[in-house]
Chains A and B, each alone.
Chain A
Amino acid sequence: MSERPPRGHGAEVEVRAITKRFGPVAAVDDVSLVVRGGEFFSLLGPSGCGKTTTLRVIGGFERTDAGEVFIDGRPMGQTPPNRRPTNIVFQRLALFPHYTVYDNVAFGLRMKRLPDAEIRRRTRDALDLVQLPGLEDRRITQLSGGQQQRVALARALVNEPRVLLLDEPLSALDLKLRLQMQEELKRLQHRLGTTFIYVTHDQGEALAMSDRLGVMNAGRLLQVGAPMEIYERPTNRFVANFIGDANLIDGVADGVERGRVAVRVGGGVVGARARGDERAGAPVTVCVRPERVRLLAAGGTPGALRARIEDRAFSGYVVKYRLAGEGLRLHAAVPYAAGTPLFGVGDEVTADWDPDQAVSVGRE
């Protein structure tokens, strides 16, 4: 018992330049990443982006073609899963169908040949932790999806891993249960201090739960940062599009000055924070969130974007507009309060935004 690491001590995980090929396809392509100890970190991306493979590499289920994984600074090499300080919750849960709930949860402790009394105590504790007391003797097939989810979680957490790997564990649940489990996972992680690495394709899930997240596409890690940072400052088109709603506006850089880039779009000029690689006269894409777009009646400031309202949808606290202008399509979401003047379909308006609220995302 004494060699168990204390609670609240999640391990740091470093992934250094790993590449994993399946045949000619690089499922993971030169990915490097540091997950801090005790952090809730999400790997986010569409299916087939390499996030699950990255997780499986960390857990020791896949050999890499290049690169190395370090857990608390120790290189993992070819260490098999059973000798890593990690545990995993699989997407398909992989609960043992021939065992009861208790036997499933106790499995890891039995493999460690711990004394019976300790196995009993820790298994009970784990079931309490996931709020499943009293179901010890049930068969797995007699449980609901949500309960199976909790058993899978308890079966991993009972081993008090330094790092818990979660491979889209909530994807089989319905929305309501999923939201509830999200909260619970977050609370658990906070309480245990275990490093959580959470794989998901659901950006809402990743934004809501993570301390930081990494966005992947086509085997590459595109951006790592805190949820708000990634939402506010996506560094490329894919991330901008994948996280939240985004207007991606193609234009030509007019000039760069003090971290700002002026971009010519159709007849107007808009501003955005520069990424740093913009050059005057070169094409550039600006990302601006719909809720940051300001609409004014036509005839406003010279140089602003002119557009026409194509569609309007009221959804309670915001009014969503779809606009079209010269070489331009735009979405705007305007907060609604009683008395707010509304534009109608067909109205000519000008659109602009605070340049600090938009960001250049390059052109690739």
Chain B
Amino acid sequence: MKLRGAAIVGLMAPALALMAVLYVVPLGVYFVNSFHEFRDGRILPAWTLQTYVKYFTDPFSYRVIGTSLRLSLMVTALAVLIGYPVAYALHTRVHRPAARAAIALLLFSPLLVSVVVRTYGWLILLASGGLVNTTLRGLGLIQEPISLLFNMRGVVISLTHILLPFAIFPIYSVMGRLDLSLKEAARDLGAGWRETFLHVTLPLTMPGIVAGALICFTLALSAFVTPQLLGGGRVQVLPLAVYNSTVEINWPGGAVAGLTLLVISIAAVWALNGLLRRLPTV
């Protein structure tokens, strides 16, 4: 059945309306606000680039952008590094559908818990007298408790935890499409396990890695609650800057920071999609 133009628009109308009202319009408002200036507690009606100038000449802005990028890159790298072996194990070792579903549910379960609850959970675990520190001390790995809270470490740990399934599943799904006889062919031609992995499995699952990295990176970049609660004000990232400006009614400042965030996300999506297109398809 082929849908006519009108029917397609009709079917998509609710989604389009939602996008328009909740996304495009606010983005427009943002855009407009970025060309105003906030001074003495109010937004001036005159059109100006002053807010941009102020934002991009302030070293603090670059520190925030730098922190955001560092956090997102660390979380992405960790999620992929931890997630890839999980996906590999799931792909090669777990064959019964029921077992696969159970493990998938387990991996996604953090998403079923409210972000606030989960974050408070990490607060308890990561505290000086918390489970992580006492365990490490019990094992004799550390003498003094290491500080995992209200700094980058705690935020990275917690965000990696929550974003792990977003790294695992794209990789896992690409692995599922991998022709197993490719691995057998490599083995047949004299490759050992390691060489087979390096020359066949890894390059051919690269699209999954890139897709997973893309999702993790953009989600980490826009994470708000975790840096807010676990960063204790010491992990200043872009979403926090936007939030802080907005509660001060400094809409122009928030708008410029927000658009910066958007541009970085778009750039990441564009770059990784370009990479994805150049990778061989399985």
Contact = CB atoms under 8 A, between A and B. Distances in A.
Interface in A70-124: 80-82, 86-88, 90, 92, 94-98, 107-108, 111-112
A94 B191 contact: no
B184 A82 contact: no
Contacts of A87: 188-189
Contacts of A156: 188-189
Given A94-B179, A94-B184, A98-B204, A107 B189 contact: yes
B188 A59 contact: yes
Contact of A159 (B187, B190, B199, B280): B190
A155 interface: yes
B192 A82 contact: yes
Contact of A155 (B179, B189, B204, B282): B189
Interface residues of B, number: 21
B182 A82 contact: no
A343 interface: no
B181 A94 contact: yes
A238 interface: no
Contact of B187 (A82, A95, A96, A98): A82
Contacts of A81: 184, 187-188
A96 B281 contact: no
B189 A82 contact: yes
Interface in B166-205: 179, 181-182, 184-192, 195, 199-200, 203-204
Which of A86, A98, A112, A159 gathers most chain B CB within 10 Å?
Answer: A98
B279 to A, nearest CB: 8
Contact of A90 (B185, B191, B199, B282): B185
B188 A82 contact: yes
B203 A98 contact: yes
A61 interface: yes
Interface string A289-326: 00000000000000000000000000000000000000
Contacts of A86: 188
Contacts of B188: 59, 61, 81-82, 86-88, 156
Interface in A197-252: none
A92 B179 CA distance: 9
B192 A96 contact: no
Interface in A248-307: none
A318 to B, nearest CB: 42
A96 to B, nearest CB: 6
Contacts of A98: 203-204, 279-280
16 contacts: A59-B188, A81-B184, A81-B187, A82-B189, A87-B188, A88-B188, A90-B181, A94-B181, A97-B204, A97-B280, A98-B279, A107-B191, A107-B199, A108-B189, A112-B190, A155-B185
Interface of B: 179, 181-182, 184-192, 195, 199-200, 203-204, 279-282
